[in-house]
Copies of this chain bind each other. A is one copy, B any other.
Amino acid sequence: MKMNHNFSNIAQSYLFSTVAKKVADYTAAHPDKKVIRLGIGDVTLPLPQVAIDAMHAAVDEQSKQETFHGYGPEQGYDFLKESIQAYYAMRDTKLELDEIFVSDGAKSDVGNILDLFDKDNTVLVPDPVYPVYVDTNVMGGRKIAYMNANESNGFLPLPDPSVKADIIYLCSPNNPTGAAYDRASLKAWVDYALANDAIILYDAAYECFVSEDVPRSIYEIEGAKDCAIEFCSFSKTAGFTGTRCGYTIVPVQLEREGMNLNKMWLRRQTTKFNGVAYIVQRGAAAIFSEEGVKQVQEHLDYYRENARILAEAMDELGIWYTGGKNSPYIWLKCPNGMESWEFFDYLLENANVVGTPGAGFGENGKNFFRLTAFGDRENTIEAVARIKKLLS
């Protein structure tokens, strides 16, 4: 019996557990202080009412023999895939239904997609980064190359022609930096991937926050269907973090070494997955209705206004940051040359505000700090007032 020893090479992350412990220790020592948490990446608003209504109706269907749904198609019901297809069509991106795979969330698919690739590939990952991209590849024994995201490139690195990568992770708008690639930059990545026979794994989980003229989908770039797989999720769009639904686009024309990636993914999913709950798919489909789109926009506007309030404070304080416009994240440079854990303690102790130290996302994050717009309005306004008082 031989175990997968690559598991021994996965770095243990103590980021969120250390944050939690520091906050718990502080509140225990200062029970009178009101601590405001702007560190989490989870949503706080309840599900849109259209999704609630649709799920009640679907639960009722599951209670009667005539309307009961057993095993569904592993790749998702057409009613949901057609809604996703129409959503892309609004931005002139034509998808075939067979290119859309409904899943239980982007995190699962971003990891599971690696089943399609040999171990012997070089994976290019930005630093700082969502740790799942790194850990899933280390688990599979793949070699990882890092690209520097930093203040000088606005945390939006461009391809380095001297580096030969096979698999490239791009997340835009980015977690944790909130930075979003413009069209020309994404075009540079698509051109690089095509020239190098590489595959781009494009994480679009935050596309719903785009408000400026930047792409929401890699397929808005010519040539992307020949080099990119896109992952998206209803987690941030419609508050589905605990309801679990997302989708992955694998173009039917995407081929490497004579193998068709769409057919491979279909085979992977039909073999190792049994589809998303019917009830959940009905909830997800509802958010594409006319009323659903309206309700989702209200939610997004709420978080966007929080982001604007945070960004405005950074502007007033003269603090350099990315994000806040096309993203629920503000990625700020720690003031006075502080390191991120130092700033974390300083902010917790002096303003009773919790954020996330950038060092937790990679070496290049060690002087940066993430604040999120997912808190409630009143707390966000109070946190901003405290931060401004402390830092001005």
Q: Which residues of chain A have a CB within 8 Å of any CB of chain B?
A: 1-5, 7-8, 10, 42-47, 49, 52, 55-56, 59-60, 62-65, 68-72, 104-105, 107-108, 111-112, 115-118, 120-121, 132, 135-136, 139, 166-167, 197-199, 239, 241-244, 256-257, 259, 261, 264, 267-268, 271-280
Contact = CB atoms under 8 A, between A and B. Distances in A.
One complex includes copies of this chain to the number of 2
A5 B261 CA distance: 11
Contacts of A1: 117, 121, 166-167, 197-199, 256-257
Contacts of A46: 62-65, 68
Given A2-B121, A4-B116, A199-B1, A136 B271 contact: yes
Given A3-B257, A135-B271, A243-B278, 5 more contacts: A3-B118, A4-B117, A7-B264, A52-B60, A72-B242
Given A3-B256, A7-B116, A47-B68, A139 B108 contact: no
Question: Which of A10, A256, A276, A277 is the most central at the interface, judged by chain B CB atoms within 10 Å of its CB?
Answer: A277
B68 A108 contact: no
Contacts of A59: 52, 55-56, 59
A387 to B, nearest CB: 24
Contacts of A242: 62, 68-72, 275, 277-278
Contacts of A63: 46-47, 49, 52
A296 B69 CA distance: 18
A8 to B, nearest CB: 7
Give 6 closest A-B pairs by Cβ, nearest first: A111-B272, A2-B118, A42-B70, A69-B242, A70-B241, A52-B63
Contacts of A72: 242
A165 B111 CA distance: 29
A108 B273 contact: yes
B104 A104 contact: yes
Nearest to A166: B1
A56 to B, nearest CB: 6
A156 to B, nearest CB: 24
B118 A259 contact: no
Nearest to A2: B118
Given A271-B135, A274-B104, A279-B280, A120 B2 contact: yes
A225 to B, nearest CB: 16
A68 B48 CA distance: 11
